[in-house]
Structure formats: structure tokens, C-alpha cells
């Protein structure tokens, strides 16, 4: 690329990062829309708890599963195009949701709404090529802070719902997504990796090449980390209101506000986790995350003796270190798989998203089986323990094989 072109594109990384983060925030707000409007829909349709759980879980599930395809398409066709189309498709489904009158129609619309959650894989693959490796942790951490969109929905949607009904929430959120897609398209450019391929006329990598790294156990180890860091975080944000009401007798309003307060710093500090991963190394951040998480989940898994104040403090500490861990996990991917960020990032994101779908169900099953509300934290402790042991043994093995310091530092 000529010097003139370099000068022309000098502001691209910052613009791509901030517009992608804004877009992801709106997408995440749409992805979690059922957390609020689902309560009114449950009342209107007379749904039982199982039907309600499936309703709010459908977008989480589909938004997780679609991340692999969206990640690969981003690598092949460019993140600017795929990101824009993903937002528009999700906006159409969200708007049509407002016209759904039956439960099957709600579930069908939920499949489309879930596309908004798949935008994470698109953003990761789109942003990574704009930044050198030593800055990617910070960049992806800032982008991931778009998780705060869940809090946007929790705070804003109830007011819209009470004023105009749940249908208005779906319509306004859909319009916001369309506006964001248009602004994103006209203020961003194609990522450098895709632009180089297009200028050279290079054919897209085959699907076999895209998915080749998935045979590595390392990819699935990263996926387990994200299953806890992201999936566990989402699961707790959904489970906390029920836990606080059931264990400590909080009223629903207070429990909901605590859950919203939990999700905001847990999202924003993801950016700080990216900075730490760049400066201190993702390995160090992961050790701290798992170590503090192990202690926290062990304390919270005690059947009795944890006061409401202690519980809230410890669970907020847990959410904080989870947010650091989410950024550290994604620091690994462009470092180890620079040519397969879409596929690997999509798989890791998919497994993390599935954690947000599976873990709340597991929490409920454990509560029914044991009668202990705290059993959910015992499950999280088991996931942390397995992850920490697997990570430590893998790092020891890498050290014995004499891998370079730069490679090991990212692990």
C-alpha cells in the first residue's frame, strides 16, 4: 500500500473499533430483549416456566450457534458487509416480533433476533486486522465491553414497555438497529486483511483451511475458558434475580437492580482486561481470573453462613474477574490463529454463548435435585477447577517443549 493510502487510512483503526463497539452494544441490547418483554409475553400467553425459559433462551442459543458461520463469512467476504447485513437481518426479525401473536411465532421470531448475538464473532474478525498483536487485547477488550447493551435493555425497556407496550420495545429496538447498521456502513471501511485479498484478487480460503485449526485441542481449551468467563457471566446475570429472591427474600425490583448493576461493571471492565492482557500477558490474567474465581465460587457454594452483604460483594468480585478473563481469552486467538480468527473466534464465542444457555438450566436442575440454591456456585467451582488444571498442565507442557516466550506469554 502506498504512503498516500497509509495516510488515508490512518484513522481507520479507531473508527472501526468505536463504531464496531457501538454496533455491538446495540446488538447485545437486542439480543437480550426477551429478558424484559418476555415477562409480559409470559403473562399475555399464559406460558409455564418451561415455555418461558425456552422463549428467553432461543435468541441466546441461535446467537451462539450462528457465530461459526458468521465468523467464517467475515473472513471470506469482509466484516463491514457481514456486520451490516447481520444487523439488518436481526432488525427485520425484531420488528416482525411485534406482530407475533402465538407462541410458535414468538419462537420463530426469536431465531432471527438471535442473529444479533452472532455479531460478536463478526466484530472480532473485523477488528483484529486493524491492530498489531501487542494492541489486540486492548482493542478486543474495548469491543467486548459492548456487553453493556444488556444493561441498556434492562434499564430502558421497562419504561418503554409500561408506556407503550412490549411491541413498542421490539419496534424501537429494531429501528435503532437499522440506524446503527446504516451509520456503520457509511462510516467504516473494509478491514485491511480483506482489502489486501481483494486487491490481489486472491481466492477465499477453502472451508477446510478455515476449520483446520479446530482439530487442535488448544481451541477447545480456549472454548472452555470462555464457557466459564462469558457463559458463566451471562448465566449469573440471568439467575441472580431468582437467587436473591429465593435465598434472601429480596423483592423482584431490588433483585433486578442488583442484577443490572452486576452486568454493567462486568461488561465495562472487559476493556481493562484487554489492557492488562497486552501489558502483563493473557496468561497472567487467566491465572488471576481462575484463582480468584475458585475462591469466590467456593465461598458462595457454602449452603449457609453467607450474609446478603457478603454475597453481593463476593459475586461482584467474581463478575469483575470474569470480565477480565473474557478479554484475556480473546487475546489468544489472533496471536495463535491470525489466519483463522473468524473460525476459531466463532467456535470459542459459540461455546461461550452456549454456556449462557446451558448453565441456567443446569442451575435449575441442581436446585431441584439438591434443594440447595448454592449448588449453582459449586458447579461453577468445578468448571473453574477443571479449566485451571487443564491450563496449567498445558502451559507446563509448552514450557517443556521449549516454545518461544512470545507464544507462551499469550497462553
More confident residue, 94 or 238: 94
| 352 in the same domain as 300 | yes
Residues 294 and 402 occupy one common structural domain: yes
Q: Do residue 42 and residue 153 come from a single domain? A: yes
Report whether pLDDT(37) > 80: yes
Give how far the C-alpha of residue 158 lies from the chain's centroid of Cα atoms, to the nearest Å.
23
- Per-residue pLDDT at 226 exceeds 70: yes
Q: Please report which confidence band the pLDDT of residue 170 belongs to, taking 50, 70 and 90 as the band edges.
A: very high
Residues 111 and 215 grouped into a single domain: no
The domain boundary residue, chosen from 204, 235, 260: 204
Given 144, 172, 204, the domain boundary residue is 204
Alpha-carbon dihedral angle through residues 382, 387, 389, 395, given to the nearest 10 degrees: 180
CB 282 within 8 A of CB 409: yes
Nearest residue to 325 (alpha-carbon basis) of 392, 407, 243, 388: 388
Distance CA 135, CA 284 (A): 17
Residues 149 and 221 in one domain: no
| Predicted TM-score of the model (pTM) | 0.78
Tell me: do 71 and 115 sit in the same domain: yes
Residue 240 C-beta-side C-alpha neighbours within 13 Å: 26
3-class SS at 156?
Answer: helix
Read off the pLDDT of each residue in 266-290 and give the average, rounded to a whole number: 86
Q: Cα 317 from chain centroid?
A: 19
Which of these three, 149, 178, 204, is where a domain ends? Answer: 204
Residues 240 and 271 occupy one common structural domain: yes
Question: What CATH number is given to the structural domain containing 164?
Answer: 1.20.1250.20
What pLDDT score was predicted for residue 239? 82
Domain extent for 48: 1-204
Torsion of CA 141, 146, 148, 149, to 10 degrees: -170
- Whole-angstrom Cα distance, residue 132 to residue 346? 20
Does residue 240 sit in the same domain as residue 369? Answer: yes
In this structure, of 55-59, 147-151, 337-341, the range with the lowest mean pLDDT score is 337-341
- Which of the four pLDDT bands, split at 50, 70 and 90, describes residue 377? very high
pLDDT for the residue numbered 139: 87
The DSSP code sequence of 22-54 is HHHHHHHHHHTTHHHHHHHHHHHHT--HHHHHH
Handedness of CA 318, 322, 323, 325 (dihedral sign): positive
Task: List the one residue out of 109, 117, 126, 111 whose CA is nearest residue 166.
Answer: 109
198 and 123, same structural domain?
Answer: yes
Q: How far apart are CA 173 and CA 100, in angstroms?
A: 16
Domain tally, the chain: 2
User: Is 10 strand, coil or helix?
Assistant: coil
Confidence (pLDDT) at 206: 65
Per-residue DSSP letter, 145: G
The band of 381, judged by pLDDT with boundaries at 50, 70 and 90, is: very high
pLDDT digits (tens, 9 = 90+) for 107-127: 999 999 999 999 988 998 899
**Do 200 and 272 fall into the same domain?**
no
User: Does residue 175 share a domain with residue 226?
Assistant: no
pLDDT of 291 higher than 50: yes
Range from 7-16, 229-238, 286-295 carrying the lowest mean pLDDT: 7-16
DSSP string of 398-411? HHHTT--HHHHHT-
- Clarify whether residues 150 and 22 are in a common domain: yes
Amino acid at each position: 500500500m502506498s504512503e498516500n493510502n497509509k495516510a488515508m487510512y490512518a484513522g481507520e483503526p479507531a473508527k472501526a473499533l468505536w463504531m464496531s463497539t457501538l454496533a455491538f452494544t446495540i446488538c447485545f441490547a437486542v439480543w437480550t430483549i426477551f429478558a424484559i418483554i418476555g415477562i409480559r409475553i409470559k403473562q399475555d400467553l399464559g406460558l409455564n416456566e418451561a415455555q418461558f425459559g425456552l422463549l428467553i433462551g432461543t435468541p441466546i442459543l441461535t446467537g451462539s450457534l450462528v457465530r461459526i458461520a458468521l465468523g467464517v463469512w467475515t473472513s471470506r467476504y469482509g466484516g463491514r458487509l457481514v456486520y451490516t447485513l447481520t444487523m439488518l437481518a436481526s432488525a427485520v426479525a425484531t420488528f416482525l416480533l411485534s406482530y407475533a401473536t402465538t407462541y410458535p411465532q414468538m419462537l420463530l421470531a426469536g431465531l432471527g433476533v438471535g442473529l444479533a448475538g452472532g455479531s460478536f464473532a463478526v466484530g472480532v474478525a473485523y477488528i483484529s486486522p486493524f491492530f498489531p498483536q501487542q494492541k489486540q487485547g486492548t482493542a478486543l477488550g474495548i469491543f467486548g465491553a459492548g456487553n453493556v447493551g444488556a444493561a441498556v435493555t434492562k434499564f430502558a425497556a421497562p419504561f418503554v414497555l409500561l408506556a407503550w407496550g412490549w411491541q413498542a420495545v421490539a419496534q424501537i429496538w429494531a429501528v435503532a438497529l437499522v440506524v446503527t447498521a446504516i451509520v456503520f456502513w457509511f462510516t467504516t471501511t473494509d478491514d485491511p486483511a480483506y482489502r489486501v485479498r481483494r486487491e490481489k484478487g486472491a481466492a477465499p480460503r477453502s472451508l477446510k483451511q478455515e476449520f483446520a485449526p479446530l482439530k487442535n485441542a488448544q481451541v477447545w481449551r480456549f472454548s472452555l475458558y470462555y464457557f466459564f468467563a462469558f457463559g458463566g457471566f451471562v448465566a449469573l446475570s440471568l439467575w441472580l434475580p431468582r437467587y436473591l429472591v429465593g435465598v434472601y427474600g429480596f423483592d423482584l425490583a431490588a433483585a433486578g437492580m442488583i442484577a443490572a448493576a452486576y452486568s454493567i461493571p462486568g461488561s465495562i471492565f472487559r476493556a481493562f482486561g484487554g489492557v492488562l492482557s497486552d501489558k502483563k500477558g493473557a496468561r497472567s490474567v487467566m491465572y488471576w481470573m481462575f484463582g480468584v474465581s475458585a475462591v469466590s465460587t467456593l465461598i458462595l457454594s457454602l449452603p449457609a453462613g453467607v450474609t446478603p452483604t457478603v454475597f453481593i460483594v463476593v459475586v461482584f468480585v467474581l463478575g469483575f474477574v470474569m470480565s477480565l478473563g473474557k478479554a484475556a481469552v480473546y487475546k489468544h486467538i489472533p496471536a495463535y490463529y491470525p489466519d483463522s480468527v473468524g473460525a476459531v473466534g466463532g467456535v470459542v464465542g459459540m461455546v461461550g454463548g452456549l454456556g449462557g444457555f446451558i448453565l441456567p438450566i443446569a442451575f435449575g436442575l441442581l436446585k431441584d435435585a439438591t434443594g440447595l440454591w448454592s449448588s449453582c456456585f459449586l458447579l461453577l467451582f468445578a468448571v473453574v477447577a477443571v479449566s485451571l488444571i487443564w491450563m496449567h498442565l498445558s502451559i507446563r507442557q509448552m514450557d517443556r517443549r521449549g516454545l518461544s516466550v512470545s507464544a507462551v506469554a499469550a497462553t
